Amino acid sequence: MTIDVVLLGTGNPLPDRDRAGAATLVRAGGRTLLFDAGRGVCLRLVAAGVLPVMLDAVILTHLHSDHICDLNDVVTTQWVMSPAPKSLRIFGPPRTREVIDGLRAMLRPDVEYRLAHHADLTWEPQLDVIEATPGVVVDEDGLRVVAARTDHRPVEPTLGYRVELDGKAVVIAGDTVPCAGLDELCADADVYVQTVLRDDLVRMVPMQRFVDTIDYHSTVAQAAQTAARGGVRTLVLTHQVPTPGIGAADEWIAVAREHFDGEIVFGEDLASISA
């Protein structure tokens, strides 16, 4: 039994032609889980062979726009493609309900149009919102998802997740600096997916708003140090800031390599990693 990870979107908040927004697919124990739902998530889901109706849950690390901006597309597509009422579970930190209420309001005209048009569509999107707290959030047929508090202040609270199956573990950390909760998640993990930033490059950009992002993301070096501390097998660098140029992978990996001996994957959209 494996845990299969597909990087659906490895982009940062700035649009890029080759990188969709933050989103990661995890398939394990017959379940299909979507972590975050950034720009272009449905396109990438389909490319990975998954339609939104096939999702067992959407799990949000935090409510920054680059991690949720296409959640409405997931919700609508799941709804219109369901032959019968099917609920979509959405886990996320406190205030997720507020976001979903807003999303329902945004979709209100569309939902009314479609209900009026299709005789066989008699239900609204069935959204089951669960505001998660640290601890076990999913425990089904040997598959566990454990949440821990991460540190992306002033964005708070934020959550990182550890997916466990049959002695394997995959960590989807989200945006965070190194912290105790992240170390808990990463202990002996097979795969650790971390959103990262190159502070040496960001500092060279003459724009304070961009430089501000250094203080609430793991640098590549910090991600590698977290991986080494946890004894993880594979470190996956995603959501790279600033957007790497063509052929930059080796340089990014070299920065991580100074602190971590294990396998290092420089994330590209639709790359898959198994634990």
66 is catalytic: yes
Strands (E), the chain: 3-9, 23-28, 31-35, 57-59, 87-92, 126-131, 135-140, 143-152, 155-165, 168-172, 191-197, 218-219, 234-241, 263-266, 272-274
Closest by CA to 23, choosing from 193, 149, 153, is 193
The residues of the shown chain that bind Zn ion, judged by CB under 5 A, are 64, 66, 175
CB of 4 to Zn ion, least distance (A): 23
139 vs 215 by CB, closer to Zn ion: 215
Q: How far is the CB of 193 from Zn ion (least distance, A)?
A: 13
CA-nearest of 84, 79, 8, 100 to 46 is 8
Show the tokens assigned to 7. Answer: 């990087």
If the CB atoms of residues 28 and 149 are measured against Zn ion, the closer one turns out to be: 149
- C-alpha to C-alpha distance for 186 and 203, rounded to whole angstroms: 28
Closest CA to 160 of 169, 170, 168, 172: 172
We find the least distance from the C-beta atom of residue 96 to Zn ion, in angstroms, to be 14
CB of 243 to Zn ion, least distance (A): 13
Smaller CB separation from Zn ion, 66 or 70: 66
Please say which residue, 23 or 146, places its beta carbon nearer to Zn ion. 23
Q: Which residues contact 58 (CB under 8 A, 6 or more apart)?
A: 33, 34, 37, 71, 74, 88, 89, 90, 91
Query: Could you give the C-alpha distances from 56 to 26, 59, 169, 238, in angstroms and in order?
Result: 11, 10, 19, 23
CB-CB contact of 199 with 214 (8 Å): yes
- Of the two residues 151 and 175, which places its CB atom closer to Zn ion in the complex? 175
Closest separation between CB of residue 176 and Zn ion, Å? 9
Catalytic residue, candidates 66, 70, 151, 175: 66
Where in the sequence numbering do the catalytic residues fall? 66
